[in-house]
Amino acid sequence: MSKKQLLLISNSRQAGYPYLGHASTPIKEFLGKKVKEVLFVPFAGVVISYDNYSMMARKAFEELGYQLVSMHEVSDPVEAVSKAQAIVIGGGNTFHLLKQLYDSDLLKSIRDAVESGVHYVGWSAGANVAGPTIKTTNDMPVVWPPSLDALSLVPFQINPHYHDDVHPGFTGETREERITEYTFLHKNSYVVGLREGTMLEVQGSSTRLIGEKPARIFVHGKPPAEYNAQDSLDFLSVVKP
């Protein structure tokens, strides 16, 4: 039986809330009382310094009752992962994040930790890297990682910040059209479009949506489908990437 526990959040900033404020209750319910400290991975930050990024995340988690240690502050990142009670990966640029994970030799250690039951929280880029690849990110490849293969903590792809907006006068491809291109070329892959303010909680083989907006799920050969918080998403746990 799978021990994996993940909370995959579309966004960190929501109008009317402080940083991560819209996700504070789900994060606290997810981490519970046994977790006292989280290991934060700031590697998706590019313009923001890791010190400033970790300071921002630390404030949010300390307000929830959790201590935070940032990966860039430890002398042995692999050892830190092996001792972590929970791993938290923030958003930013997904390519930069994945390259730093490869350069720090952290993919296997994070994967092993989460598969053994260590809690994983990721938002935006941190949600992207939980899937098999980062091929459904919205980001530009400002750097190039050794591979686009990611953590494979879940068997489906994620597209954070998914939206249906089309601005007047815009004639380029929509987000739906871009994801449809992906599923056309990767016919066995499911892509979950996570709208702002929503998140996926994975507990073993169970997957559920949290939030007021529906998720839009894509797979080749079927029209995109909308799923709400009351709908079962357990089928995503058994798809083959």
Active site residues: 124, 139, 161
Phi, psi dihedrals of residue 44, rounded to the nearest 5°: -75, -15
Q: Give just the sign of the alpha carbon dihedral 215, 155, 124, 84.
A: positive
The two tokens of residue 189 are 């892959």
The residue whose two tokens read 């313009």 is 47
CA–CA gap between residue 12 and residue 197 (Å, rounded): 8
Cα angle at 122 between 114 and 2, to 5 degrees? 30
C-alpha distances in Å from residue 184, one per residue of 4, 146, 179? 29, 25, 9
Q: Which residues contact 36 (CB under 8 A, 6 or more apart)?
A: 66, 67, 85
Cα angle at 201 between 227 and 176, to 5 degrees? 40
Of residues 1, 2, 8, the one with CA closest to residue 150: 8
Q: Which residues contact 128 (CB under 8 A, 6 or more apart)?
A: 94, 97, 122, 134, 136, 137, 150, 158, 160
The two tokens of residue 122 are 């990721």
